């Protein structure tokens, strides 16, 4: 079960990064690069998304001595999180539209 949460501009950036490829697990450093957020902003957001059931987290299964680096933590949207993220981003998009804005009508050939 997912929980509703406040979507700040920083949270929206993180959700947009996940929605670019919803099936692809995301790595923290890549999310920082994609969103422009510092780790001190990003990781609390990831924690809230995880607590609210929007994402899951898993640690890569490697031997750090062999790889020469610590295991990475990957974050993946849950199916409920994907739905919630899409709904929240659509709502945010709607709020940002100027009053009276309507999409252009498609042009029909011959009319």
- Report the CATH number at residue 56: 1.10.10.10
Residue 108 forms part of a structural domain: no
* Residue 35 backbone phi and psi in degrees, to 5: -100, -20
| 110 in any annotated domain | no
Range(s) of the domain holding residue 63: 9-96
Domain count within the chain: 1
103 in any annotated domain = no
Confidence at residue 74, expressed as pLDDT on a 0 to 100 scale: 97
Q: H-type helices in 2-78, by residue range?
A: 9-20, 28-35, 39-51, 64-67
60, part of any domain:
yes
What pTM did the predictor assign? 0.79
Higher pLDDT, 52 or 97: 52
Would residue 85 count as lying in a domain?
yes
Confidence grade of residue 12 (pLDDT, cut at 50, 70, 90): very high
């Amino acid at each position: 079960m997912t929980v509703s949460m406040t979507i700040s501009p920083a949270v929206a950036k993180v959700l947009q990064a996940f929605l670019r490829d919803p099936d692809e697990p995301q790595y923290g450093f890549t999310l920082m690069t994609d969103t422009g957020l510092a780790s001190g902003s990003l990781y609390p957001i990831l924690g809230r998304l995880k607590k609210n059931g929007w994402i899951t987290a898993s640690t890569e299964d490697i031997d750090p001595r062999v790889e020469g680096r610590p295991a990475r933590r990957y974050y993946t949207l849950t199916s409920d999180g994907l739905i919630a993220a899409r709904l929240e981003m659509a709502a945010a998009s709607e709020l940002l539209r100027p009053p009276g804005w309507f999409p252009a009508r498609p042009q029909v050939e011959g009319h």
